[in-house]
Amino acid sequence: MRIEQIQAFLSVAETGSFQVAAQQCQVTQSTVSRQVQALEVELDAPLFHRSAQAKLTVAGERLLPKARRIYQDWVQVSKDIADLMAGKQPELCVAAIQSVCATVLPPVLQQFCAEYPQVQLRVTALGSDRSLKVLRDGLVDLAIVMDNPRLTSQSEMVVTPLFEEPIEVLMAADHDLAAQPEIEWEALSRFPHIVFKDGYGMQRLVQQQFQNRGEVFNPVMELNTLDAFRGVIRQGNFVALLPQAALAECCHDPTVAVRPTSQPVLTRSVVLVTTRDRLVIPPIQRFHALVQSLATPTRLRPLPTAVA
């Protein structure tokens, strides 16, 4: 069943004439006749009594209300898709890891809102794995996450590298390790760790680093907000390995200390992910370009050398 056949059927039903229906559809009368006949063959039932005036048969009467709904739905969806491809979408949804939401996205969001005031932005802070899941499920249009080829290998995914940043150590200002200008990995294995919850790529990255080095990794607590990390870290002997952008505000907090690790420095790669079909939609395409041009991680100020 084709939409042209439905349109021809409706025109004949409304006008009572194949000739007038052809004029209305701007095609020849023979074309209208073929389209109606094809519909009758497909439904295996005559739709019109062909006399001086085309009148609906019982089957035609049964088809008429449903054909109207089908045609109206087609007209509406055609308009909706045309609007979408012209950039007239009501909202744009983004999922991103927390540090990106706080430090990287603000200039992107400001510029996008200035260019597309009619598009409502919805930004949700999620872990990398969860962000990629909601992207695959069609709940968001773009995700800004830690690179994870295992979850982005599908052919429809478009993965754009953004930046790479070091992982550094967060601890209390009076922690035993705070006097050192950089922290040895062996020393980190002697202290309890606070980690991001499962589903946040950082936990997997840090765990793999200790495993590769043959060092002990002792996670004792899982959290999912940067404020929670600071609140717990400042009160005990815990340490946390976090990306540099996530630690930007910590350099202004006298109750905590941030130190780089010794070599080899662990880094994370941050990527922008969407799907090929979304990338042809103008607002999504523009947001994608803005992220590439404006998204740079906030850098920490140079840390003072500790005095023993």
Nearest to 221 by CA among 201, 204, 196: 196
pLDDT tens per residue, range 187-196? 999 999 999 8
Could you give the residue range(s) of every CATH 1.10.10.10 domain in the chain? 3-85
Architecture of domain 3-85: Orthogonal Bundle (1.10)
Centroid of chain to Cα 191: 36
Alpha-carbon gap, residue 166 to 270, rounded angstroms: 11
The CATH code for residues 91-162+269-294 is 3.40.190.10
Q: What is the DSSP letter of 183?
A: B
Collect all residues with Cβ–Cβ distance below 8 Å to 264 and sequence separation of at least 6. none
> Model confidence over 214-251: pLDDT tens digits?
988 999 999 888 889 989 998 889 999 999 888 888 87
Q: Could you please state the CATH topology (level 3) that the domain comprising 166-267 is classified under.
A: D-Maltodextrin-Binding Protein; domain 2 (3.40.190)
Of residues 25 and 94, the one with the higher pLDDT is 94
Q: List pLDDT tens digits, range 85-131.
A: 877 788 999 999 988 888 889 999 999 999 999 999 999 998 888 99
Summarised one tens digit per residue, pLDDT across range 54-87 is 999 999 999 999 999 999 999 999 888 887 787 7
Q: Residues of CATH 3.40.190.10 domain(s) within the chain?
A: 91-162+269-294, 166-267
